[in-house]
Amino acid sequence: AQSVTQLDSQVPVFEEAPVELRCNYSSSVSVYLFWYVQYPNQGLQLLLKYLSGSTLVKGINGFEAEFNKSQTSFHLRKPSVHISDTAEYFCAVRRLGGATNKLIFGTGTLLAVQP
């Protein structure tokens, strides 16, 4: 079985500062990894995904994430945040292969960008 841990439930940061949102996963098999963003009162939007290949993945809105297999991590980063980045961010994992694409989600990290 797979599991996802997002240790930080909230991350306050000032506008234009860099940010890192942490995600660690546990799995006995290879996995795909995803970051989704949820803006206030909206559904989830795919930010980026790691399937294979380069461990540095670039997504929308200037975000990127790095897959680290040895540390079983997939941390999300942005060098300079904007007020509009205020949202909840979810890390998710699913096993490689298999007939279904069920996702296991972390508990989410609320990014609060302050002016």
Instruction: Give residues in contact with other proteins (CB under 8 A).
Output: 9, 32, 34, 36, 41-46, 49, 51, 90, 98-103, 105-108
Spatial separation of the C-alpha atoms in residues 59 and 67, rounded to whole Å:
13
**Shortest spacing between CB 32 and other proteins, in angstroms:** 6
**Shortest spacing between CB 44 and other proteins, in angstroms:** 4
Which ranges of 29-73 does DSSP label H, i.e. alpha helix?
none
Q: Decide: helix, strand or coil at residue 71.
A: coil
Nearer to other proteins by C-beta: 3 or 80? Answer: 3
Taking the alpha carbons at both ends of the chain, their separation in whole angstroms is 41
**Shortest spacing between CB 42 and other proteins, in angstroms:** 6
